[in-house]
Amino acid sequence: MTCAVAEAFALEDLIKAQAYGLGFDLVGITSLGPMETAEAFDDWVEKGYAGEMDYLPRGARKRRDSRLPFPGAASAIVVGLDYGGREPNGPVARYARGDDYHDVMTERLNELHRWLELEVAHPIAGKAYVDTGPILERDLARGAGLGWFGKNTNLINPRLGSFFFIGSLLVDVDLAPDSPFQTDRCGSCTRCLDACPTNAFVEPRILDAKRCISYLTIELKGEIPDVFHEPIGTNLYGCDICQDVCPYNIKFARELQEPAFAPRDAIRDRDAETLARELVAMGDEEFRTAFRRSPMKRAKRAGLARNAAVVLENIARR
């Protein structure tokens, strides 16, 4: 766009307008460089809190400095996409009920990239990341002004809560950065720490992932240790408890707007018992069809059947 109206606005404003137009709920810009929380990340890995997620220490060098994942990049356009915190609680965490957010957001960030090239009328080297590279995304998003690190470790926006995904477009253009989000708005609240059924928080903002239901039901490859069976309750895939109790979500969580994240047929309107029984009985082909483009594929059929068995054990115990 080279009309007089566009010339009256800074490129950063046009980028944000375009990103909102593409459906993102939050947009900010940050310069790339050494990450503020690099040391916290190293400590976390060193203490063994990453469990079996070997890709985290493997990418540590790049995670420490956001200029490294995409050499030549100078700025990040960081976006947030809401996934409907007002949706009812259920056996599958809200983030995983519809299409895979990696695909949905990467497509849109690529569209933003193409638009930017047209806008400046020359090629721009850049790459979209949505949990698809060695980036400390919450740190990047805080740097772009999107929110603060809650005691439950989630990035919280004061007007949206925390039920949003983070994505970024790294570009080789020096854009004027937004101010980082400076304040900690958790105050003396400890609701999330108190509500976690597996006591996964070692201290505020430090999560031992090995104890987190999200890790146990999604990332862990082997058997779930017995000690966690009962606390898992009816959480079949992921967990939203430490977000559900957060006052910022209670007040600001939104109705689901993004059709791509609407629950797919295979899980819609199922209580935990029905869904668990259906998953245990599912064959390979049926599983592939039911969970095509779903984040739930990550746990594979065997992982979901393992989780379902734990949930059924808990229901039988009632």
Q: Which residues are catalytic?
A: 131
Q: Could you tell me the two tokens for 176?
A: 């004027």
Question: What are the distances in angstroms from CA 211 to CA 49, 77, 138, 224?
Answer: 9, 33, 20, 10
219 binds, among ligand SF4, ligand B12, none (CB under 5 to 8 A by kind): ligand B12
Tell whether residue 149 is a contact of ligand B12 (CB under 6 A): yes
247 binds, among ligand B12, ligand SF4, none (CB under 5 to 8 A by kind): ligand SF4
**Residue ranges in 121-207 assigned as alpha helix (H):** 137-143, 191-195
Question: CA 232, CA 240: separation in Å to the nearest integer?
Answer: 12
**Residue ranges in the chain assigned as alpha helix (H):** 4-7, 11-21, 38-46, 55-58, 60-64, 101-120, 137-143, 191-195, 213-214, 229-232, 241-244, 247-252, 272-281, 284-290, 300-317
Residue 313 dihedral angles phi and psi, to the nearest 5°:
-60, -45
Binding mask 183-222 for ligand B12 (x = CB under 6 A): ----------------------xxx-x--x-xx--xx---
Tell whether residue 237 is a contact of ligand SF4 (CB under 6 A): no
Closest distance between ligand B12 and the C-beta of residue 195, in Å? 11
Which strand (E) or helix (H) includes residue 168? strand 164-171
Closest distance between ligand SF4 and the C-beta of residue 297, in Å? 20
Only one of the segments 69-77, 157-165, 275-283, 304-312 lies at the binding site for ligand B12 (rule: CB under 6 A); that segment is 157-165
What residues from 4 to 43 belong to the interface with ligand B12 (CB under 6 A)? 37, 40-41
Closest distance between ligand B12 and the C-beta of residue 288, in Å? 23
Question: CA 83, CA 101: separation in Å to the nearest integer?
Answer: 9
For ligand SF4, the binding residue among 96, 207, 279, 299 (CB under 6 A) is 207
Letter for the amino acid at 246? C
What residues from 41 to 100 belong to the interface with ligand B12 (CB under 6 A)? 41, 44, 53, 93, 95
Q: Which residues, 6+ apart, have CB-to-CB distance to 144 below 8 Å?
A: 28, 29, 30, 76, 77, 78, 177, 178, 180
Only one of the segments 62-70, 120-128, 184-192, 267-275 lies at the binding site for ligand SF4 (rule: CB under 6 A); that segment is 184-192
Length of the chain: 318
Smaller CB distance to ligand B12: residue 156 or 171?
A: 156
Query: How many chain residues interact with ligand B12 (CB under 6 A)?
Result: 36
Closest distance between ligand B12 and the C-beta of residue 166, in Å? 4
Q: Could you tell me the two tokens for 281?
A: 């009985």
Tell whether residue 241 is a contact of ligand SF4 (CB under 6 A): yes
Pairing of strands 155-156, 206-207: unpaired
Binding site for ligand B12 (CB under 6 A): 37, 40-41, 44, 53, 93, 95, 130-131, 135-139, 149, 152-155, 162, 164-166, 205-207, 209, 212, 214-215, 218-219, 238-240, 242
Binding site for ligand SF4 (CB under 6 A): 150-152, 186, 189-192, 196, 198, 200, 207, 212-214, 239, 241-242, 245-248
